[in-house]
Amino acid sequence: MVSFAGLTFIFRFLPIFLIIYYVVPSRYKDMVLLFGSYIFYAVGDPYFIVLLIFLTLLNYFVGKKMKGLAEGFEIHDWQKIKQKKLLIAIVAMDICVLVLFKGLSTFVDNSLLPLGISFYLFKMISYQADLYRGEIWEKPDFKETALYFSLFPQVVSGPIMRYNEGECGEKRSYSPEQFEDGLKYFAAGLGMKVLLADKLAILWNDLQMIGFRSISTPLAWLGAAGYSLQLYFDFWGYSLMSSGLLVMLGFDFIENFHHPYASRSIGEFYRRWHMTLGSFFRDYVYIPMGGSRCRRSRLVFNLAVVWVLTGIWHGNGFNFVLWGLILGILIILEKLFYGKKLSSIPVLGNLYVLLLIPLSWVVFAITDLKQLGIYFGRLFPFIGGAGVAVNAQDIVKYLQDYGIFFAAGILLCIPAVFDFLEKHRKNPLVILLLFIVFWCCVYFLSCSEGNPFMYLKF
């Protein structure tokens, strides 16, 4: 049931849950949503539901104590010091829990990584930091806090919503139009996942099965582009489905991607890609360290730390650290040297992004450094010494098989195309298109086991 792109979730859990959720009075909706979220999580990871509840209780009581120290007309120095100590202690513990289970999954057994732990612990850290800063005005009660940490549309793979972005059951607004919009976002995201990401995943799997030494240089570049689109539509699709569910439940839509492939620099790309994760690192790591308002050497250090942490967060292999370092270096170079030039010449900036981002995703995708070297040798045969491909004409076959998916993916990467569809989402033709997309997805899902979302493993 964990996957939103699963028939059990779409035709069993979700309809039953929504009926109960809408039937009960507003004052009980949060309780229904909380229990529904725990059931959703427990079915996906029955053992680690205990960990989620324990960490929820711990973070709630520490947060309650921290908030209590800030009450009153005047806050004394000793209160601020005690608040800070509590903040450091609870954040350190949350990070240690994350490091512990990441380590266990790497060195002992992959099944020891609790479902969604990176996402709900980041929520807990942001919650504590916002309480300390005074950005959460009211003293949260347990039900609201537990719901924020475990909300089922987000608990598995985000987006990383802030506490103040949600409203309790009695304050949320509901309307048929809002529910319809949520369904449309959900259907659009499902289509991106099943009809684009899952199909393009077959191409990347084929290249791995063939062996990177055996593919031609054109096919290697097609594979890099295909993986880039696969990852994008997998996670953008998930984010649309998640935000669509939130809209159905009365929350605001949370945008997690904003046309990243239309960016003019790597820095801009990652301000548009997985925006809630980027804003988390910006607000809780980069800015507290000094941000960009500091001397050059400190700026370089701050950016390097953020991107090394980003790489480590995504995976335990050295390739993820390398991926983070490469992006950090590129962003540092943009900040210090040529970033303004890229922004001033749009075509140059777009080409720069469209060349470097797929190459960076190759580093992200291939965990074996030897195989990574072989793939780059195939991408750049004049310097890699990878030898002659077994079939130099393989690109023709794969373009015939996957050309339609590339064409659809590239169209949806153009901001004007998706914005047009979003703007005219109430048009009967757009509704009909989404209806067809949804049932095509159901057909393909019924014929296969379906692929899990890629970000489930982070």
The encoded tokens of residue 22 equal 């809408």
Active site residue: 76, 259, 314, 424, which one? 314
Q: What are phi and psi of 156, to 5 degrees?
A: -85, -50
Would you say the C-alpha torsion 198, 199, 201, 205 has a positive or negative sign? positive
Q: What are phi and psi of 426, to 5 degrees?
A: -90, -5
Q: What are phi and psi of 137, to 5 degrees?
A: -75, -50
User: In angstroms, rounded to a whole number, what is the distance separating the alpha carbons of residues 161 and 251?
Assistant: 11
User: In angstroms, rounded to a whole number, what is the distance separating the alpha carbons of residues 11 and 18?
Assistant: 11
How does DSSP classify residue 410? Answer: H
- How far apart, in Å, are the Cα atoms of 169 and each of 130, 294, 301? 22, 43, 43
How does DSSP classify residue 197? Answer: I
Is 314 considered catalytic here? yes
User: In angstroms, rounded to a whole number, what is the distance separating the alpha carbons of residues 230 and 207?
Assistant: 14
**Is the CB of residue 261 less than 8 Å from the CB of residue 232?**
yes
The encoded tokens of residue 215 equal 């593919």
3-state DSSP assignment of residue 87: helix
Would you say the C-alpha torsion 342, 347, 352, 358 has a positive or negative sign? positive
Alpha helices in 284-335 (DSSP H): 296-314, 318-333
The encoded tokens of residue 431 equal 């509704």
Q: Kindly report the CA angle at 184 between 181 and 186, in degrees rounded to 5?
A: 110
How deeply is 110 buried, as exposed, middle or buried, from its count of CB atoms within 10 A (0-12, 13-18, 19+)? exposed
User: In angstroms, rounded to a whole number, what is the distance separating the alpha carbons of residues 160 and 344?
Assistant: 32
Would you say the C-alpha torsion 156, 159, 161, 166 has a positive or negative sign? negative
How does DSSP classify residue 10? Answer: I
C-alpha closest to that of 128 among 68, 87, 93, 167:
87
Q: Which residues are catalytic?
A: 314
